[in-house]
Chains A and B, each alone.
Chain A
Amino acid sequence: MEFENKTYIITGATSGIGKCVAKELAKSGARLLLLGRNLNSLNKLRDELNSPNNHDIAIFDSNKLDSIELAVAKFADKFKLNGFIHSAGVLSPMLLRDLNLDKMSELININLLTFFALAKATLKHNRYVKNDTSIVAISSMAAFGAEPGLSLYGASKAALNSAVSSLAKEYAKKGVRINAVAPLYVNTPMYDDFVNNFISQEAHKSKLNEIMPLGLIEPSDVAKSVLFLLSSQSSKITAECIKISSGGGMMKFKWKIA
C-alpha cells in the first residue's frame, strides 16, 4: 500500500475535506495524528477509520498555537513524521463594516497561523523523515478571486499560498515538499453554511452550472489531489498550488445583501 508505515498529521480531520483525506490515507495504510477541537468528534472519526488503534488524536486550540507544539511533540516521540495536511479552516464571510479584531484574529489563526505552527512543529530536526516528507495546505480559489464579503478569507488563503511557496524553497534541500490545493466550492458543511446564510437556494441552483460547469466539487475530488501530492508520484513537485476550478473561475454568486 502506498502509505504503509507513513505518518501524517491532519488538522480539521473531523469534517469535510479533512475527514475524506483521513479516511483515504488510513485506507492506504498510513498512521495518523488527528488534530481537532472536539474530543467526541475525534474519537468518533478514529473509530470509523481503518485500523483505529494505529491512530492518535489530540485536542488543539487555534487561538493557543503552543498547543500544537505540545500535541506534535508527544506524537513525534513515538513516530517520525512524513508530513501533514492543514485542512482546518473557517470561511466567515464578512463585510468590512462587520469585521472586528477578534473575528479577524480567529480566522487568521485557524487559516494561516496554525499552518505555520504545525510546519514549525513538524519540521524540527529529527522529527521528520528527510527526503520523504510532504506537506499539503488546503487553500481556496478565493485566494485568486475578488469577492465581496470574502476579503479576509481570500486574504488568508492568498497568504497561505505565499507561505507554501516560500517554505517550499526553504526546505527543498532537506527533501521536504510543500504544496497547496485550491478548490472552488466544495460540498462540505462549510459550503452548506455559506449557501444557507449568504446566498439564496434559488440563486445557488440556477447559477451553479454557470459557476462550475463540471459540477460541485466533492471532498473526494480534493482528497485525490492531496494524496497525489503526498505520494511518490509527485516526488519532484513542490511550491505548487493545484487549482480545482471545476471549469469555473471565480465565485460569482449573487449575495442576498448585494
Chain B
Amino acid sequence: MDKKIAKFKDTIECDEPITPQTPLDSLAEWDSMGKISTIVMLADDYNHTLTYDELKELKVVGDILDLMNE
C-alpha cells in the first residue's frame, strides 16, 4: 500500500502527505498534467486503460490505488 502511494505521489509529483482517503480535488497536483501522468502510469505499468468515464468517477486517492493491480 505504502509503495503504491509513493508511486502515485511520484507520478503526479506531490510532496504533501497523502492517504487513501485524501480527496483528489484537494491536491494541487491533480490537474490536467497530473491526470495525464496518472493515465499513462496506469496504462504503462498496470495495463489498465482509464476511460474518460472512469476518470470522472475518481474521488479519492484510494480509487486510483484500487486500479494499481499487478
Contacts and interface: CB of A to CB of B under 8 A. Distances in A.
Interface residues of A, number: 6
Contacts of B33: 170, 173
A74 interface: no
A224 interface: no
Interface string B1-27: 000000001100101000000000000
Interface string B31-45: 101000000000000
A173 B9 CA distance: 16
Nearest to B11: A125
A174 interface: yes
A125 B13 CA distance: 5
Interface in A132-173: 170, 173
A125 B10 contact: yes
A173 B31 contact: yes
A130 B13 CA distance: 10
Interface string A178-219: 000000000000000000000000000000000000000000
B35 to A, nearest CB: 14
B14 to A, nearest CB: 8
B13 to A, nearest CB: 4
Nearest to B12: A125
Contacts of B10: 125-126
A16 to B, nearest CB: 34
Interface string A230-256: 000000000000000000000000000
B23 to A, nearest CB: 20
A244 to B, nearest CB: 33
A212 B47 CA distance: 56
In the A-B complex, list the 9 residue pairs whose CB atoms are closest, starting with the nearest.
Answer: A125-B13, A125-B10, A174-B13, A170-B33, A173-B33, A173-B31, A125-B9, A130-B15, A126-B10
Given A126-B10, A126-B15, A174-B13, 7 more contacts: A125-B9, A125-B10, A125-B13, A130-B15, A170-B33, A173-B31, A173-B33
